[in-house]
Structure formats: C-alpha cells, structure tokens
Amino acid sequence: MRIEIRGRNVEITDELRRQVALGMKPIEPQVPRQARCEVVLRQEANPAIDDRYVAEANLHLKGSTLHAHEASPEMGRTVHSLVADMRRQVKKYRDKRRGRARARRLAERARKSGRVA
C-alpha cells in the first residue's frame, strides 16, 4: 500500500509520518499492494474552533474508496482516531467481500447439484 501524506497549515514532521505509517501497518496485509492511501493533515486557522487539528484519509481500492475524517484538539489524538476509523472500515469492507464470495460459491454449488432451477 502506498501512503501519501500532505499537510495544510501544518508542517509534516518525521514523527507525524512515523505515526501515520505505524498506524496503517496493520491495514497493509488486508488490502491489495496497488492500494493508495491519501492522508491530509491540517490545522484550522480560526482559534475559536476547539478541534483545530483535522485529519482526512482516502483509501483507494479496486472498485471502491474508503474515507475517514477526524478532528480533535491534539494532532496525535487526531491521527490515532483516524487510523482506528480506517481499520474499522477496512475490516467491514473485507468481511462484506468475503460474505459475497461465500454466497457466490454456495449458489454455484447449488446450481451444479441441481437444487436450484
């Protein structure tokens, strides 16, 4: 999986890159190699906004795109929440794909055995 990290109104430090990469590491075996993840980290310029640090991620998979959006007062917490949301979405996506494949196999077996007309 290729991860692209961009920053708006925030400097992307090595620590932020490491935090995003480590968080996405458990997702890598679950998605194809050609998957692309775009992560945008930004800081809201308005000081009246409590959740100033915002992180968005788009994971482009074959046939679908998963999107996550998180905001909090600390960048570290924002990235952690974003990664947790992405993990949950990837798990749901994989389970759905496996369920459809299993249903397809069962239907094919039933058709071959002559149970379904």
**pLDDT tens over the chain, length 117 residues:** 999 999 999 999 999 999 999 999 999 999 999 999 999 999 998 888 899 999 999 999 988 999 999 999 999 999 999 999 999 999 999 999 899 889 999 999 988 887 665
Q: How many CA atoms lie within 13 A of 96 on its CB side?
A: 7
Identify the pLDDT of residue 71: 96
List the chain domain ranges.
Answer: 2-113
The answer to whether 71 touches 46, Cβ cutoff 8 Å, is no
Identify the pLDDT of residue 113: 86
72 contact partners, CB below 8 Å, separation of at least 6: 51, 53, 78, 81
Identify the pLDDT of residue 114: 79
The answer to whether 78 touches 72, Cβ cutoff 8 Å, is yes
To which CATH superfamily is domain 2-113 assigned?
Ribosome hibernation promotion factor-like (3.30.160.100)
Helix (H) or strand (E) holding 81: helix 75-113
Identify the pLDDT of residue 117: 52
And the tokens for 41? 């980290």
The answer to whether 1 touches 36, Cβ cutoff 8 Å, is yes
Neighbours of 16 (CB within 10 A): 19
Identify the pLDDT of residue 37: 96
